[in-house]
Structure 1
């Protein structure tokens, strides 16, 4: 049985609806830190096995949680566990900053960028571009039913980046007004598909039809080393509205053919030429 302090972090991760895969991976690393501060030896080794399963189960779609548990190998040595957790957090932060630098170079003065949902990496790109003095505008969706887009709107408002909010249903209408689309990713599969907030695929189709390039931004720890798109478990979270049951898959899948490139800390990955 995991200690109460660690279980509390896991429960908070399960309840989180807005912040996405990067944030949850960081919280997972914090759970390892907490565990290593409380246990050692065989108790720590046994608890780490349980913690790894709990973290992956928070959201099986997210590659970041899988890769976190692979990065921090089970060990009875609490100092080793702490160092690996801190290393993961440091590498994650460095990756986000580098993606901000690389991605910001795609933005030119006068650009209009359409995005969907909330992504800390996309936000970092916007922040860096703004600090570089680039003038651009963002079209963002509400991102129902959890309305992550409104969280992004608050962030953009706080740093003075102009934006307009649209309903998800209007992505097809507004995509043609954009210079390019930029979204985050919760999982990049071995076959190059981007798994992100449901609606991303529809945005990709609208952009493709209008000749608007779409980029995804994601740290390399969101690349799943084993699974192709068809093998990924897509989490569904049904809810009721006016006593009617509403189907609600949290993510959808966008294949390489609709993606101009994936911005990582190592550069921009591009699809194979045959696609």
Structure 2
């Protein structure tokens, strides 16, 4: 009879957690693997049990994807049925148990270079991000998705390097650039990785790794910079989901956070839940945004793009919040990495009409996901470079245009 096991990859930023198995384990001592263990009963539940036992992490992980089980036959240990999983992890503070001799957070392509348990790359390949998962992700913010795009570029470049496959890498880069047309940072960071590399797959892999590391640092510094502007702010209003905004709020330690539900999608609800215990949190409806903004001391939002003329693209509802902030006399701050400055203005599309109305009446439906906020309603765009004035934004846009010339 085959033995069922779970293999769970944990990801923080652009890196995954690998564990080197101790000499006390019964199989594959000294080899590198992910979190793993026998799947006794429900593999979904067992994956979380193994994560808690082997890393000490309990509530710090969230499931991203589960892959189809596959068989691995080993002459010494028989047949394993591997159930692969992928989790995002919000910390790197791991407390391993006796099964682990060492651990490292590394780019996933390191799996191909290490002495690992059998078919570890196959497990990763079953759950890793793809162009399609980046394009289809409507839950996460653009900074997060730019890292996932760089993950895809890095992984595909590593695979193409086996065949010297620059054409395959270039095609992956093109598809990633178009995966999220409204998210300038996805396009810019892919272009940056490709344009700073030689026209060879292994060079693109290395460049994607470096751009990802710099991207994480840029987002963190942007959050720190805007937090310093919120030192005397007690109550902050925000909407939608932005990892940079969330980090900024924790840096600033404001006492109260107001969060709009953020339709369509409603991701603001999960954001509000995540703040409980750290702030006094109020979740409000989108229709009540103007009244709620009047009770805040500042509006803080992320951006999916900043146009060269200073206009900001963000989740629908941002313009209403900015107008309400103007009437209340409170500042509107946008925090993002400079990589979110777009090459040029671009159309901002609607969502599917059925998300608002699925009746039979012959009417037009306007249900946008994103909108453009005029520059006059924004008091500051704060990046890792500090506040950007109009000249700074145009300078950054010029640089991003140069990155786009790699073809």
Shorter-chain TM-score bucket reads 0.7 to 0.9
Deviation at 1:136? 1.7
Deviation at 1:101? 1.6
C-alpha spacing 1:271/1:116, structure 2 compared with 1 (3 Å):
farther
Of 134, 146, 149, 1:25 maps to 146
CA distance in 2, matches of 1:191, 1:29: 27
1:213 aligned residue: 331
Q: How does 1:70-149 map to 2 (within 5 A)?
A: 70-73=191-194, 75-108=198-231, 111-130=234-253, 135-149=254-268
Q: Answer 1 or 2: higher relative contact order, Cα 8 Å, separation at least 6.
A: 1
More strand by share: 2
Between structure 1 and structure 2, the one with the greater Rg is: 2
CA distance in 2, matches of 1:203, 1:42: 52
Q: Secondary structure at the match of 1:247?
A: coil
C-alpha spacing 1:72/1:173, structure 2 compared with 1 (3 Å):
same
Q: How does 1:182-221 map to 2 (within 5 A)?
A: 182-221=300-339
Would the aligned equivalents of 2:348 and 2:372 in 1 still touch at CA under 8 Å?
A: no
Q: Secondary structure at the match of 1:73?
A: helix
The answer to whether residue 298 in structure 2 is matched with residue 180 in structure 1 is yes
Deviation at 1:52? 2.1
Deviation at 1:113? 0.6
2:288 aligned residue: 170
Deviation at 1:271? 5.8
Q: Secondary structure at the match of 2:294?
A: helix
C-alpha spacing 1:6/1:78, structure 2 compared with 1 (3 Å):
farther
Q: Secondary structure at the match of 1:177?
A: coil
C-alpha spacing 1:248/1:57, structure 2 compared with 1 (3 Å):
farther
Would the aligned equivalents of 2:237 and 2:258 in 1 still touch at CA under 8 Å?
A: yes
Gaps of 5+ in 2: 1-124, 392-407
Would the aligned equivalents of 1:5 and 1:34 in 2 still touch at CA under 8 Å?
A: no
CA distance in 1, matches of 2:182, 2:269: 23
Deviation at 1:43? 5.5
Question: For each residue in 1:155-191, what CA deviation from the matched residue of structure 2 results, as whole angstroms up to 9, or x when unmatched?
Answer: 212x512210000111111111111100000001110
Return the TM-score normalized by structure 1. 0.87
C-alpha spacing 1:271/1:140, structure 2 compared with 1 (3 Å):
farther
Question: For each residue in 1:217-244, what CA deviation from the matched residue of structure 2 results, as whole angstroms up to 9, or x when unmatched?
Answer: 01011011x303xxx1213221425623
The answer to whether residue 351 in structure 2 is matched with residue 237 in structure 1 is yes
CA distance in 2, matches of 1:5, 1:31: 13
Deviation at 1:108? 3.3
Would the aligned equivalents of 1:114 and 1:175 in 2 still touch at CA under 8 Å?
A: yes
**RMSD between superposed Cα atoms in Å:** 2.3
C-alpha spacing 1:250/1:56, structure 2 compared with 1 (3 Å):
farther
Would the aligned equivalents of 1:215 and 1:260 in 2 still touch at CA under 8 Å?
A: yes
Would the aligned equivalents of 1:260 and 1:270 in 2 still touch at CA under 8 Å?
A: no
CA distance in 2, matches of 1:187, 1:256: 12
C-alpha spacing 1:257/1:242, structure 2 compared with 1 (3 Å):
closer
Q: Secondary structure at the match of 1:233?
A: coil
Would the aligned equivalents of 1:60 and 1:235 in 2 still touch at CA under 8 Å?
A: no
Deviation at 1:214? 0.3
CA distance in 2, matches of 1:6, 1:137: 38
